[in-house]
Amino acid sequence: MKRLLLTVCLMLPALSHAVEEKLYKEHGDLKIFYSAFGSSFISPEVAATNNIVRGKGKGLINIAVIKELGVGVSSKITGRLSNILQQTQVLEFVEVREQTAIYYLAPFEFDNEDFLTFRINVSPESDAGSGSGSYDFKFQKKMYHD
């Protein structure tokens, strides 16, 4: 877990970059950060500790719902992805908690240069304060093998 936290900490500069590029969605007073990346980004040790399968054509999507910086909001996350041929995969998210951070990871498979559309539903806990119930959004990303 400590190594996963270290990995997430190393991603904080990317998170601040995400804020600048607006790689998040706003839902009431919540911010929903999202990213999709190849699993080889995760070190073998962190992958083994967290049962993450690394390899060519293996990706991860990361969703974090926050109300204030560094404090995660417990949520139910569901989703699916599709490629340009309309082949779909259901995303099965696993919650990861480390101190005050909460984020959700889901594995997926992709072909080299796959252009993927991710459709995500976020349902924050009722006491999260967003006041609007669940929130749907989509984003697209082209994925490459390492």
19-68 residue pLDDT tens: 456 789 998 889 999 999 999 888 888 888 878 899 999 999 999 999 88
Q: Token pair of 146, please?
A: 């390492």
Taking residues 90-111, report their average pLDDT: 93
- What is the predicted pLDDT for the residue at 19? 47
Contact 39, 107 (CB under 8 A): yes
Domain ranges of the chain: 2-143
CA distance 78 to 114: 21
CA angle 75, 78, 83 (to 5 degrees): 145
Q: What is the pTM of this model?
A: 0.79
For 133, list phi and psi in degrees, rounded to 5: 70, -145
- What is the predicted pLDDT for the residue at 41? 87
Q: Does domain 2-143 correspond to CATH entry 3.20.20.70?
A: no
Q: Token pair of 104, please?
A: 């959700």
Stronger pLDDT, 12 or 137, i.e. the higher one = 137
Please name the residue that has the structure tokens 């949520």. 75
**Among 71-80, 102-111, 121-130, whose mean pLDDT is lowest?**
121-130
Taking residues 10-17, report their average pLDDT: 48
